[in-house]
Amino acid sequence: MLNKTFFINIIIIPVLILAQVFIFNNIFFFHKYSPIVYIIWVIFYPYNKSESHWFLIFAFLLGFGVDCLMDTGGVNAFSTILIAYIRNPVIRYISDLQKEMKLFHFSDLNLVQFLTYFIFIILVHHLSLFILESLKISMFIMAVKDALITSLFSFLFILIFYAFIKNRLEK
């Protein structure tokens, strides 16, 4: 169904892709680690709207767009689809809410639940991304180290962004 959310996503997805490729990929910590923030869309997409097939399609397009501009051969698309696919089961698992999940908002989570969800999704994305990029057993430890460090910087950037948009997400 084509509605307002659909058209908003048509605008947000390219903006996130361009911001990741042209802004965040040029921010380096320790001359090596760049925050990966385009996944913020998957992390904070409204739960009650994420059961739609459009959620997975847009998640794919988000990762694929980053892959196209960075020439990374599909690893971003895979990692983004992976977190989009596991996102709702993770939310259901960590939340102990008794009410119907269709009424769920991130504000319903306590701080520990929220941080568990937030960190878990970032780690799954980054570990799958860096391990797929290396594809060598000898590089496995380096890929895990890079994924953990990049996850830390991504977490900080997304957390700062979340602080600014928290009230808008809860509507």
Print the domain residue range for 99. 4-169
**CATH code: domain of residue 96:** 1.10.1760
Angle, helices 140-169/111-134, rounded to nearest 10 degrees = 140
Q: How far apart are CA 66 and CA 73, in angstroms?
A: 10
pLDDT in tens, 85-117: 999 889 888 887 655 666 677 778 888 998 999
In 10 A of CB 162, how many CB atoms? 16
pTM listed for this prediction? 0.84
Domain total for the chain? Answer: 1
Give the containing element (helix H, strand E) for 128.
Answer: helix 111-134
Q: Can you read off the two tokens belonging to residue 23? A: 């802004």
Q: How far apart are CA 30 and CA 36, in angstroms?
A: 15
Query: What pLDDT, in 10s, does the model give residues 1-51?
Result: 567 878 888 999 999 999 999 999 998 888 889 999 999 999 988 877 767
